[in-house]
Amino acid sequence: GAVVSQHPSRVICKSGTSVKIECRSLDFQATTMFWYRQFPKQSLMLMATSNEGSKATYEQGVEKDKFLINHASLTLSTLTVTSAHPEDSSFYICSAREQGLAGVKNIQYFGAGTRLSVL
Amino acid sequence: DQQVKQNSPSLSVQEGRISILNCDYTNSMFDYFLWYKKYPAEGPTFLISISSIKDKNEDGRFTVFLNKSAKHLSLHIVPSQPGDSAVYFCAASAAGNQFYFGTGTSLTVIP
């Protein structure tokens, strides 16, 4: 099946630093990738939709200047948490939708997630 | 406002028996539903889907049932195996890209 690689799996950083998380589709092209955040015992919450070659679409309440998304190619999207603070500590997961397959356009393939801890 | 709800945070089932995981939704515009399975320290893995034009979809031991009038979705696993122990999420979308996820149900299959 389709594979999405997310890196790093875990990162610990000091408050005020920036952290970049990468999401790659390994065996398919993804014009659209999604970034989710999950708080403990809560559901996945969509943060933004990343579109190759254009600006990301952010969900209400998500600061686009804080969570920078770049989708420069059909296989790579990055999320940069700028000037991270302890309240940004969370589990971030990306997903990718395979391009152009009839009948499966609504299936998203997920990365393994990144556990961010900001000290 | 939680549009997709999984009211049972956990479920324990004996090996060989049926596991039934439930999901309710509030948005009548949802027309595509997914179930994902998640092991600890891994990302969710797609399990099975169903579109609103159907009321049942079966794939091996996994069957998803959709009751549109009740806005209710269920996943049946028969027979349950210890390897099925994981957290199961249901998700729904409305003719678009965004999926709304439930909070998950942790299934434990007891050998």
With a pLDDT cut of 90, the percent of chain A lying above it is: 60
Does the beta-carbon distance from B44 to A4 stay under 8 Å?
A: no
Cis peptide before B79 (omega within 30 of 0): yes
What pairs with residue B62 in β-bridges?
B59, B77
> A50-100: per-residue pLDDT in tens?
888 888 999 999 999 999 999 888 899 999 999 999 999 999 999 988 765
Residue B17 CB: number of other CB atoms within 10 A? 13
> B67-98: per-residue pLDDT in tens?
999 999 999 999 999 999 999 999 998 866 67
Cβ(A107)–Cβ(B34) below 8 Å: yes
Chain B residues touching chain A at CB-CB below 8 Å: 2, 4, 9, 32, 34, 36, 41-46, 49, 89, 91, 93, 97-104
Nearest to B103 among A4, A41, A109 (CB): A41
Question: Is the pLDDT assigned to residue A103 strictly greater than 60?
Answer: no
Which one of A29-43, A65-79, B11-25 scores highest in mean pLDDT? B11-25
Cis peptide before A8 (omega within 30 of 0): yes
Question: Is the pLDDT assigned to residue A2 strictly greater than 70?
Answer: no
- Identify the CA nearest to A34 among candidates A24, A45, A20, A49: A49
In eight-state DSSP terms, residue A104 is -
- Identify the CA nearest to A108 among candidates A99, A119, A96, A118: A96
